[in-house]
Amino acid sequence: MQGSRFAFGPFVLDSGAGTLLRNDVPVAVGYRGLKLLAALVGRPGDILSKAELMDAAWPGTAVEEGNLTVQIAQLRKLLGPAGDGGEWIVTVPRVGYRFTGAIEQLGDAKRKPLPLPGKPSIAVLPFVNVSNDPEQDSFADGLTEDLITDLSRISGLFVIARNSVFAYKGKAMDVREIAGDLGVHYLLEGSARRAAGRVRINAQLVDAVNGDHLWAERFDRGLENIFAVQDEVTAKIVEALLGRLRAPPPRNRPRNMEAYDLCVRARKLMDDSPQMAQEAHLMLTRAVALDPEYAEAYRWLAMNHWMGSVHSGGPSESSRSVALKLARKAVAMDPNDAGCRWVLAYLLAYERSFADADAEFAKAFELDPNEADAWAALSDIAALAGRVEEALEHIRKAFRLNPFPSSWYYLTLGAAQYAARDYEAAVETLRRDETYRTSSRRFLAASLAQLGRLDEARAEVELFLVGNPHFTTRHWATTEPFRDAATLEHFVDGFRKAGLPD
């Protein structure tokens, strides 16, 4: 994907790629710092209020003004003096900040195409809602996600994950460019319209390497047949790409379309705005009430409980118990769903039921080898078990299947790099894209401390504790699923060197 690029002095800022270069050498700057710098250089000479800048770096989140002050101070330190000996970023007392340097806007940099996998590879682009009702967006999104899930379960295919394809929603781009960004040979694109109890779906399979259309079809069916249409589209694609029909195990389908829509909307909230966890919880609770046999709703409700419990540095016992119960219920309802399996596996690991967790992860990959989130989750568990090389391999696989992932992938990669004692790489990763819960700061602080950069480590600890005031290293160490004493000691050592509370 592309983004705005700006040059000033020896620097080039690429806001789309999330990078800052000094004389072509990457500068380790954090996610919030990049957002602030992009806002400032995008309007050189203008005074940006503190409120504007805080909204740019922490959209939709209430944060203390001190966070902005710390980020600006770190930016100034990273940028150093301007060519005239002054500062790139000037404080306007009681108002905000202004960028003073001369800016040159550069052309968009193209992302280097990813190499194609050794088997047929496909991405399902977001289906376009062509109805006059924007409320039907969730239906089109759900159709997209279901087709991704169905195709992912075919072992002969390489399928890009949902997070990455939704990065293209609403964007008009050449299919070759998208395929290059994602590293796939084929794209499925289409449109959907739902009205008066009927659905109209147009779908076409494109060979993005040479631009050929391999297959296209239009469906006009009753709404009650929507999942049969999905099965038919999946079968047509598999036949076109693999030359044979191969039906995966049957899935647990929702019986209530309102529950289906609520689940899709809740998943999007959890991806895009984790601060809306309570609203997502209400949607998922309603979905379960409307359709008590809908396994996927239970799976996401389990994750919702889990996500809402980790702000203090580790999941609470009660939240963990509820999440585990819901995950078990989801697997019981749909044992052929890889998503339900890996969520249960992850929660079992936190219960230290490691043999059961390993078995559930194995079953998840047997059902769906393309489940990117499962590979990322397994990376986290493997790193804490002391299997560092495995952890790094798993997270690399997750990134390949999901090139534009949720931010927690970066936390997982950074933690694995820390476990491998590759502190420089961990700092670069964790400063590139910190997580929405600021959880990455503890691992960033530990990495900086191991490098002897104690002032930077202390600054990260200070910011981490703003959002996690009750965190203690001792409690965290007892809640994380460590299986290897040396790995546990290594993390604790970094935390203590950084100055995190014992």
Mean pLDDT of the chain: 88
Would you place residue 313 in the very low, low, confident or very high pLDDT band (cuts 50, 70, 90)?
A: very low
Would you place residue 19 in the very low, low, confident or very high pLDDT band (cuts 50, 70, 90)?
A: confident
- Rounded to an integer, what distance in angstroms lies between the CA atom of residue 397 and that of residue 418? 18
- Rounded to an integer, what distance in angstroms lies between the CA atom of residue 78 and that of residue 152? 43
Whole-number pLDDT of residue 247 = 65
| pTM across the whole model | 0.79
**Residue ranges, CATH 1.25.40.10, the chain:** 303-498
- Rounded to an integer, what distance in angstroms lies between the CA atom of residue 274 and that of residue 35? 18
* Distance in angstroms between the alpha carbons of the first and the last residue of the chain: 42
Cβ–Cβ under 8 Å, residues 249 and 367: yes
Q: Are strands 186-195 and 128-129 parallel, antiparallel or unpaired?
A: parallel
Q: Give the fold, CATH level 3, of 303-498.
A: 1.25.40
| CA quadruple 6, 11, 12, 16: dihedral sign | negative
**Per-residue pLDDT at 183 exceeds 50:** yes
26 compared with 419, residue with greater pLDDT = 419
Please name every residue paired with 221 in a beta bridge, in sequence order, or none if there are none.
199
Please name every residue paired with 195 in a beta bridge, in sequence order, or none if there are none.
198
**Residue ranges, CATH 1.10.10.10, the chain:** 5-106
- Rounded to an integer, what distance in angstroms lies between the CA atom of residue 459 and that of residue 167? 32
Rounded to 5 degrees, φ, ψ at 450 are -65, -25
Whole-number pLDDT of residue 312 = 41
- Rounded to an integer, what distance in angstroms lies between the CA atom of residue 44 and that of residue 98? 7
470: three-class secondary structure by DSSP: coil
Q: What are the structure tokens assigned to 438, written together? A: 């600021």
50-54, 72-76, 140-144, 267-271: the lowest-pLDDT one: 267-271
- pLDDT over 70, % of the chain: 92
Amino acid at 456: E
Whole-number pLDDT of residue 309 = 55
Identify the residue whose tokens are 């399902």.
124
**Per-residue pLDDT at 186 exceeds 80:** yes
Whole-number pLDDT of residue 109 = 54
Whole-number pLDDT of residue 388 = 96
Whole-number pLDDT of residue 326 = 97
469 compared with 398, residue with greater pLDDT = 398
46-55, 60-69, 237-246, 388-397: range with highest mean pLDDT: 388-397
Would you place residue 336 in the very low, low, confident or very high pLDDT band (cuts 50, 70, 90)?
A: very high
358-367, 369-378, 390-399, 454-463: the lowest-pLDDT one: 454-463
Whole-number pLDDT of residue 274 = 56
- Rounded to an integer, what distance in angstroms lies between the CA atom of residue 380 and that of residue 417? 11
Q: What is the CATH number of domain 121-242?
A: 3.40.50.10610
- Rounded to an integer, what distance in angstroms lies between the CA atom of residue 71 and that of residue 69? 6
Average pLDDT over residues 362-366: 96
For the chain, helix (H) and strand (E) counts, in that order, are 21, 14
**Nearest by Cα to 51 from 96, 1, 82, 8:** 96
Cβ–Cβ under 8 Å, residues 284 and 268: no
- Rounded to an integer, what distance in angstroms lies between the CA atom of residue 478 and that of residue 501? 14
Task: Return the ∠ at Cα 121 (arms to 117 and 126), rounded to 5°.
Answer: 135
Q: Give the fold, CATH level 3, of 5-106.
A: Arc Repressor Mutant, subunit A (1.10.10)
**Residue ranges, CATH 3.40.50.10610, the chain:** 121-242
Whole-number pLDDT of residue 358 = 97
